[in-house]
Structure 1
Amino acid sequence: MTSRAVVVDRPGAHRLVTRPCPDPGPGEALVEVAAAGICMSDREVYDGHRDAAFVRYPVIPGHEWSGTVVAVGGGVDPALVGRRTVAEGFRACGVCERCRCGETSLCTGGYAETGFTEPGAFADHVVVPARLLHPLRDDADLRAAALLEPSAVIAAAVRAGRPRPGERIAVVGAGTLGLLAVQLLAAVSPAELAVVDPREARGQLALGFGASAALSPAEAEAESLNGSFDLVVETAGAATTAASSCLLARRGGRVVLTGMFTAGAVGIDPVHLSLSQLEVRSVFGASSAAWVEAVRAFGAGLLDPAPLVTHEFPLERFGEAVALVGGGDPGTGKVLLLP
């Protein structure tokens, strides 16, 4: 049996290859990919903008995906065959201090992640350690389940933010992470759930997902909302959003930084930070515990990523698909590859 895969040999150069279907080794599972999402990290890999310590060329990208287990290696429960599933991307060692503390996304055993240093899911099949699988319900929508990786990141942010019923909560950014955050936070029954994003269309989507208000940054400033929110979840990763999110929080409030910032981002004012006694947390990826929470929320119907998908492409059209991501078109949401 053969299997196709998109290989990025070096920045800007990719090819679709046909190879023998990989075999799962001891402790591994072979998954037939149903859908794989393309995110900005994948675009960075393709463009050559990802930190060299976090990518290994040539690489088969694809860290947001879903599929069905078709074979398992030695030592793996054969009952997994036929199960719909997703899997964690970080290949944590499981034995370092951070892993032992449950912080698997902070593993100090060396960075390894599906789709960046290990073959990913822009392919017909992907092989992963079976211990990283999170089986889904038999009737799970695999197209929607491909977004459970960013959902797990947001579950990590919500865990860090500790939202409580009746609180005033703001989400900064209405991209994929922001809209998923709205869904999970709405389930906590906040008194107010405001979304701040300059794109009106994205704000309207947020209202449909449970937000009580959608504001542009200028509107948030005009309404003097700084210092208003118990919890602010930042998801945009834009140059100014870490600083502006801290300004939105009330004195003694909580801020969770979820977006991936780049060099040159505006720093947080340490005077404001100390005088307001803010609690600021950041999120890098998702721990195993956050994955469990995201999968449970998905299975319970509290999380529905399907409406975020706007484009679907076969593997042969990877070049067109990756060009859409980060291209600036406000009508582009989540882009999927369907092998």
Structure 2
Amino acid sequence: MSSRAIVVDAPGRHRLVTGERPEPGPGEVVVRVAAAGICMSDREVYHGHRDPGYVRYPLTPGHEWAGTVEAAGPGVDPELVGRRTVAEGFRTCGTCERCRHGETSLCTAPYAETGFTHPGGFADHVVVPARLLHPLPDDADLSAAALLEPAAVVAAAVRAGVPEPGERIAVLGAGTLGLLAVQLLSSCSPGELTVIDPRFERAELACHMGATEARTPELSHDVRGHFDLVVETAGAPSTAADATLLARRGGRVVLTGMFAPGATGIDPVHLSLSQLTVRSVFGASSAAWSFAVRAYVTGQLDPAALITHEFPLDRYADALALVGGGDPKTGKVLLRP
């Protein structure tokens, strides 16, 4: 059986290759990919802007994906074949102190992640350890399920923020992470749920998804020091510092966006005088994945509403160009192998 895959040989160079379907090794499964999302991290990989310690060329990218188990390797329950599924991206060791403590996103083994160091979902098939699977119901929408990876990251942020009913909450950024955060946070019965984003179209969509108010960054100065919890999702140069200014004294801030070198630093004087609790999130633990999958299966999370474009695998270049192109009407872009 043949199988196609996008291969990025080096920054700025890619090709579509066709070969034999990969075979699963012990403890592994082969998943036929139904849909794979493209995010800004995939652009960083393609253009060579990702930290060299977190990517390995040549590479088949794609860390946001969903599909159906097609084959099981030795030692894997054959009942998994035919199941719709997603899978955790971090290939954790499961034995280090942090993994044993349940903090799998802090695994101390050498970094390994599907789509960055191991072949990912921009392909007809992907091979992953069966222990990382999160099986889905038989009627699950696999296009929507492809967004469960960013949803798991958001779930990690929400869990870290510990929202309580009636609290004043702000989400900084209305991209994919921000809109998923709005959906999860709205289910916590906040007293206020404000979204801050310069793009009117994105902010308007956030209000349809559960936000009680939308503001531009310029209009956010009036609410500085107002929020019990601020979830930052944009990863823009100033948004980490902005998030700490939005929180009330004694409030909580969770940084979820991926920042580039040169981002504005957080004022340590403000941080200490305001007695803020600041957390950051990189990836998602197994518990956060379970949280996101449960929210999706029970209908608290509707990732399908974020999808605006779908492309076949051979139009990878067109799809990648659309992501990060600046059009506020562009939401999540999927590849459909």
Q: Which residue of 2 aligns with 1:137?
A: 137
User: Given the alignment of the two structures, is residue 150 of structure 1 paired with residue 145 of structure 2, yes or no?
Assistant: no
- Secondary structure of 1:174's partner? coil
Q: Give the whole-Å Cα distance in 2 for the aligned partners of 1:284 and 1:51.
A: 14
Q: Which residue of 2 aligns with 1:271?
A: 269
Q: Which residue of 2 aligns with 1:253?
A: 251
Q: Which residue of 2 aligns with 1:103?
A: 103
Q: Which residue of 1 aligns with 2:216?
A: 216
- Aligned residue-pair number: 337
TM-score normalised by length of structure 2? 0.99
Tell me the amino acid that sits aligned with residue 65 of structure 2. Answer: W
Q: Which residue of 2 aligns with 1:92?
A: 92
Q: CA RMSD in A?
A: 0.6
**Per-residue deviation, residues 200-253 of structure 1 (Å, max 9, x unmatched):** 1000000000000000011111xx201100000000001111111101101100
- Secondary structure of 1:122's partner? coil
- Secondary structure of 1:19's partner? strand
**Runs of 5+ in structure 1 lacking a partner?**
none
Q: Which residue of 2 aligns with 1:30?
A: 30
- Secondary structure of 1:262's partner? coil
Tell me the amino acid that sits aligned with residue 236 of structure 1. Answer: A
Offset at residue 147 of structure 1 (A): 0.2
Offset at residue 329 of structure 1 (A): 1.4
Q: Give the whole-Å Cα distance in 2 for the aligned partners of 1:331 and 1:203.
A: 11
**Per-residue deviation, residues 16-53 of structure 1 (Å, max 9, x unmatched):** 11010001111001100000000001001101111111
Q: Give the whole-Å Cα distance in 1 for the aligned partners of 2:220 and 2:119.
A: 43
Q: Give the whole-Å Cα distance in 1 for the aligned partners of 2:245 and 2:270.
A: 8
Q: Percent identity?
A: 75
TM-score normalised by length of structure 1? 0.99
- Secondary structure of 1:5's partner? strand
Q: Which residue of 1 aligns with 2:288?
A: 290
User: Given the alignment of the two structures, is residue 309 of structure 1 paired with residue 323 of structure 2, yes or no?
Assistant: no
User: Given the alignment of the two structures, is residue 169 of structure 1 paired with residue 169 of structure 2, yes or no?
Assistant: yes
Tell me the amino acid that sits aligned with residue 310 of structure 2. Answer: E
Tell me the amino acid that sits aligned with residue 285 of structure 2. Answer: S
Q: Which residue of 1 aligns with 2:207?
A: 207
- Secondary structure of 1:320's partner? helix
**Per-residue deviation, residues 159-218 of structure 1 (Å, max 9, x unmatched):** 000000000000000000000000000000000000000101000000000000000011
Q: Give the whole-Å Cα distance in 2 for the aligned partners of 1:31 and 1:129.
A: 10
Tell me the amino acid that sits aligned with residue 290 of structure 1. Answer: A
Q: Which residue of 1 aligns with 2:15?
A: 15
Tell me the amino acid that sits aligned with residue 96 of structure 1. Answer: C
**Per-residue deviation, residues 244-296 of structure 1 (Å, max 9, x unmatched):** 11011011000000000111111111111111100000001000000000000
**Per-residue deviation, residues 103-136 of structure 1 (Å, max 9, x unmatched):** 1111111001001110111000000000000000
- Which structure 2 residues correspond to residues 55-74 of structure 1 after superposition, within 5 A? 55-74=55-74
Offset at residue 71 of structure 1 (A): 0.7
Q: Which residue of 2 aligns with 1:119?
A: 119
Q: Which residue of 1 aligns with 2:225?
A: 227
* Moved >3 Å (runs of 4+): none
Q: Give the whole-Å Cα distance in 2 for the aligned partners of 1:86 and 1:138.
A: 13
